């Protein structure tokens, strides 16, 4: 892609991306989904719990996933592990500090809540790169 600033390019910078969103708070989930859709991404979800997230994950090949760490007292790392087994990278949205995050996912992108939406878009692009190359 050329570096010419174009509204089209920024508006659709996530065009064709399939992103799973798992977040238990309705408003925060809506905010994340709206931000992703605005950039042209197709949102799978949002799912409010691990179980629903798992169902959605199985349906289609994803580019990446945006996961809230604490879902009604259940942590999301198992789901993240299953996603990784399918080659899908996760972006963690969390109110916890990094030292608390499992070492297995230290290479993932963590977004501190309240989420910086511009950082979210960059993170989705970054995390999807490898997957998109494989799809194409």
Contacting residues toward another protein, per CB under 8 A: 24-31, 46, 48, 69-70, 72-75, 77, 94-97, 99-100, 102, 112-115
- The HSE-up count of residue 77 (CA atoms within 13 Å, CB side) is 10
- Report CA-CA distances (Å) from 9 to 12, 43, 77, 113, 118: 5, 19, 34, 27, 15
CA distance 86 to 125: 18
Q: In the complex with another protein, which residue's Cβ is closer, 83 or 105?
A: 105
Q: In the complex with another protein, which residue's Cβ is closer, 42 or 112?
A: 112
- Which tokens belong to 117? 């939406």
CB of 69 to another protein, least distance (A): 8
CB of 127 to another protein, least distance (A): 21
Contact 82, 40 (CB under 8 A): no
Q: In the complex with another protein, which residue's Cβ is closer, 33 or 88?
A: 33
Contact 57, 31 (CB under 8 A): no
CB of 82 to another protein, least distance (A): 15
Q: In the complex with another protein, which residue's Cβ is closer, 47 or 63?
A: 47
CB of 102 to another protein, least distance (A): 8
């Amino acid at each position: 892609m050329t570096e010419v600033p174009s509204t089209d390019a920024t508006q659709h910078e996530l065009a064709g991306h399939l992103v799973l969103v798992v977040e238990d708070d309705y408003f925060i989930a809506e905010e994340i989904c709206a931000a992703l859709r605005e950039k042209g991404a197709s949102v799978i979800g949002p799912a409010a719990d691990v179980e629903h997230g798992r169902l959605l994950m199985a349906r289609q090949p994803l580019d990446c996933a945006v996961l809230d760490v604490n879902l009604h007292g259940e942590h999301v790392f198992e789901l993240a592990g299953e996603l990784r087994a399918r080659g899908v990278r996760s972006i963690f949205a969390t109110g916890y500090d990094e030292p608390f995050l499992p070492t297995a996912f230290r290479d993932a992108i963590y977004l501190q809540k309240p989420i910086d939406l511009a950082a979210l878009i960059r993170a989705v692009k970054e995390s999807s790169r490898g997957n998109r190359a494989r799809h194409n």
